[in-house]
Structure 1
Amino acid sequence: MNSRENESWLFEISAKRKLIDLNFREIWRYRDLLFLFVKRDLVTVYKQTVLGPLWFFIQPLFTSVIFTLVFNNIAAIDTGVVPAFLFNLAGITAWNYFKICLMGTSGTFRANAAIFGKVYFPRFIVPMSKVISNLVKFGIQCLILIGFYIYYAVYLEIPIAPDRYLWLFPVYVILMAILGLGLGMIITTFTTKYRDMSILIGFAVQLLMYISAVPFPIKALKEKVPEYSWVVDYNPIAYLMEGFRRSVFGTDLLYFSWNSFFLIIITCIVTFFIGLTMFNRTEKTFIDTV
């Protein structure tokens, strides 16, 4: 009897966990499951569709054309030396990654309730898989952006080129992933009790795009309607989108400051840990309410 009591267990599953608990060792142990979820997200999204992965290309291109017609041709928003279509394509590429990370993780508990109720694995793997699979889609859309970038810069000889802030490009991508993941985990904790949140989030994200400087530069908003500049002044996502484009185009038309950059970093990290805390707390009891 004593020998069994003194046995050391390889794994111990307990409901008593820290609120801020990100066990990388356990996640690494379940890496095969993580890759399986990533593969599932990539394969099933456009399964049984006619165009399949071509939607990765069609959606940003058509949206960029519409934005160019509405915001640049009709509303006469100036994008400086950067071609309007290319400006919009960069903004949409960045926004799509942030949006899909947010939307993909915001329904984690409800979409995976059947799996969570039957077998144990680190729950954080599911939202993490969304961020990784969406990174693949983001990479594909970046190839489109690079293709048009080369076309305008080399073939049409438009004077656009990255500058010293280009090294911030991967930093902004990571920040978009962290912020989308953090906000998504916060929202998914509410959707377990309040199903209205799943409807509200789709509507809210659409509105959020227009106040996050996606279809226009921040300076253009402050020049045209300075009374509404507070909309972006208190919106870190706007500076995240603007900084992403600044690292790509290297033009002074796009606003950048180190103060706003470090504020974005702090906001993303704080949001992530708040989301992780709420996620870990909710995963213990959500199965009773979902």
Structure 2
Amino acid sequence: MELNTPHEEWDLEIKPHDSVFNLHLKDVWNYRDLLWLLVRRDFVSFYKQTVLGPLWFFIQPIFTTIVFTFVFGGLAKIGTSHVPQPLFYMAGTIAWNYFADCLTKTSTVFKDNANIFGKVYFPRLIMPLSIVFSNLVKFGVQFGLFLIVFIYYLIQYHYFPESLKPGDKVEPNLLVLLFPILMILMAILGLGLGLIITALTTKYRDLAFVVTFGMQLLMYATPVIYPLSEASEKYRFIIKANPMTGLIETFRYGFTGGGKFYMDSFVYSVVASLVLFMIGLIIFNKVEKDFVDTV
């Protein structure tokens, strides 16, 4: 006698073997509530016991811009492609900080969350994604500050040009419309590199220290404090090999019109960001299956 058993549908199916190319993106979407919870946790916990709280979002780029203007613009006399110095340095600073924060914080995901990963199941990709989104909140605040400075100099350029240095200009162009795409590319570039590094840190803990120190040096190989046009021809190809170069140059050129738009550098940045992001996802997916045994 054959019994008719009702068909059962499961929310989650655990399998012993899986392809590294199966990224479980559907699971990530199903756990989106957890993603927003982690974003809120990161935001609240970081500033909960600070005196100034979220004001640090504004203080960091303001002080960095002041120091860069004094040291590199005043003492070193490095040109800014006829863009007002505070506007030039703030544009590079906020873009670089977003990328750097995404990379450095993602690069220690396995080490920092080993206890949680070992106790409960959820898509591991949720953790690095929450870092990217929480950093996006910080960038949004700093971008608002940048817009205030941008509008201030835009008004000066059109109505009070005598208050600017001779030759300085602020002429936004249609490339400013690429801003959302630039943000996505910065996010996936930082995320992709961070995923690769965090996978390696499960066996090589020293990489965490190398990344922190290396990001400080890498900033000087990126046109944050100087335009690409001011770089020596001898070393320009090295700077162009940095995927962030095309993104920052395009971001700054779109809003200010200073310097020039390097199509080859921008296309290279797009391709490199997408490739590194996919490589990072695949490596992360492979390592997260058994990283608890090595962390």
Please tell me the TM-score bracket, short chain as reference. Answer: over 0.9
Q: Deviations over 1:74-113 (max 9, x none)?
A: 1111113311111000000100110111112111101111
Of 259, 267, 274, 2:264 maps to: 259
Give me the identity figure in percent: 48
Q: Deviations over 1:178-217 (max 9, x none)?
A: 1000000000001111110111100000000000111100
Query: Could you state the TM-score of these two structures normalised by the residue count of structure 2?
Result: 0.91
C-alpha deviation, 1:3, in angstroms: 5.8
CA RMSD of aligned residues (A): 1.8
Distance in 2, matches of 1:2 and 1:196, equals 60
Question: Within the alignment, does 1:226 sit opposite 2:233 as a pair?
Answer: yes
- Taking a change above 3 Å as real, the CA distance of residues 8 and 169 of structure 1, as seen in their structure-2 partners, is closer
| Match runs of 1:133-282 below 5 Å | 133-155=134-156, 157-158=160-161, 159-221=169-231, 225-251=232-258, 253=259, 255-282=260-287
Whether contact under 8 Å (1:15, 1:284) holds in the other structure is no
List gaps (5 residues or longer) in structure 2: 162-168
Distance in 2, matches of 1:4 and 1:181, equals 46
Distance in 1, matches of 2:3 and 2:56, equals 62
C-alpha deviation, 1:284, in angstroms: 0.8
SS at the partner of 1:226?
coil
Distance in 2, matches of 1:15 and 1:169, equals 43
Partner of 1:284: 289
Question: Which residue identity is paired with 1:188?
Answer: T
Q: Deviations over 1:264-286 (max 9, x none)?
A: 11111110011011100110111
C-alpha deviation, 1:19, in angstroms: 1.4
C-alpha deviation, 1:4, in angstroms: 6.4
Aligned residues: 285
Whether contact under 8 Å (1:184, 1:275) holds in the other structure is yes
Distance in 2, matches of 1:89 and 1:37, equals 29
- Taking a change above 3 Å as real, the CA distance of residues 240 and 143 of structure 1, as seen in their structure-2 partners, is same
Whether contact under 8 Å (2:23, 2:285) holds in the other structure is no
Whether contact under 8 Å (1:169, 1:248) holds in the other structure is no
List gaps (5 residues or longer) in structure 1: none
Partner of 1:78: 79
| Match runs of 1:90-101 below 5 Å | 90-101=91-102
| Match runs of 1:26-175 below 5 Å | 26-155=27-156, 157-158=160-161, 159-175=169-185
Query: Could you state the TM-score of these two structures normalised by the residue count of structure 1?
Result: 0.93
Runs of at least 4 residues off by over 6 Å: none
Q: Deviations over 1:13-52 (max 9, x none)?
A: 2342321233332212111111111001111111211111
